Amino acid sequence: MSAADAVPNGACEPGHDVVPSGAPQSDDVILSGVREPGHDVILSGARSAESKDPVRSQPETSRPDGRTESFDSAPYGRFAQDDNSQAFNPANLRIGQGYDVHAFAEGRKLILGGVDIPHTRGLLGHSDADVLAHAVADALLGGIRGGDIGKLFPDTDPAYLNADSLKLLAAVADKVRAEGYAILDVDSVIAAQAPKLSPYRDEMRANLAAAMGVPAENVGVKATTTEHLGFEGREEGISATAVCLLVRRSSS
């Protein structure tokens, strides 16, 4: 009897099969330690080590060249090819969170996500004060436990006066890769009462993605007001928050 024959109808969550403990597992890989009493939980479509197919929680994705793609630690969070991949280990994942805030100032450009946004005032800072790029950079640094951008690019250093924050973000992304990690995904939120930012969101995503060397589909940017609450609501400044997901790349 195969493992598939042992699956009780309706006794599994989407993407998982539940089989009685001790049932033959000729073609499936048990997720050790993740089970209900008397049952082992397996990943649907997972294969044994002998098959040389990596464990995956989703069906294989076909490539134009006939290969399949599997979740592993390929550069920039893309999928690795079968012949170089290893079983996915969640312990290789890291998350990072970043937050930044800048006050409005007269005579400054408003740069967010590398986009020059028309407004009566810009943000005050040693660099171009791109609060969104700074939050994303801090999230990446948090993921590798690398401190923050203030440590990496101090505002006392004249070399960073009016610096392009996308270039700083690119340097941080390079540091992430140098530490052995790939960037899987980034999401962010800008809090600003004004100006309206939604028309510039896709351009911000594209700019951030290019700086980090990842596809734009792996970068999220949202904007919200604070309903006139707080310093953002009083239009004293803008804040941004970002989170990222990193994975340690295989050394093989």
pLDDT at residue 249, as a whole number? 87
C-alpha 78/C-alpha 182 separation (Å) is 9
**pLDDT for residue 176 is more than 90:** yes
List, for residues 90-146, the tens digit of each pLDDT value.
999 999 999 999 999 999 999 999 999 999 999 999 999 999 999 999 999 999 999
Q: Which domains does the chain have, with CATH numbers?
A: 3-88 (no CATH), 91-248 (3.30.1330.50)
238 SS3 class: strand
pLDDT band (50, 70, 90) for residue 237: very high
Is 25's pLDDT higher than 70?
A: no
From residue 1, how far is each of 53, 190, 232 by CA, in Å? 22, 55, 63
Q: For residues 184-198, give the mean pLDDT.
A: 97
More confident residue, 28 or 184: 184
Average pLDDT, whole number, for the chain?
78
CA atoms within 13 A on the CB side of 251: 2
Measured from the Cβ of residue 13, the count of other Cβ atoms closer than 10 Å reads 9
Whether the Cβ atoms of residue 188 and residue 221 lie closer than 8 Å to each other: yes
Q: Is the pLDDT of residue 252 over 60?
A: no
pLDDT at 87: 74
pLDDT at 28 over 60: no
Contact 39, 30 (CB under 8 A): no
Strand partners, 43: 16
Tell me the average pLDDT across 169-173: 97
Residue 162 gets the label, from left (phi > 0), alpha (psi -120 to 50) or beta, of: left
> Two tokens at 220?
């999220």
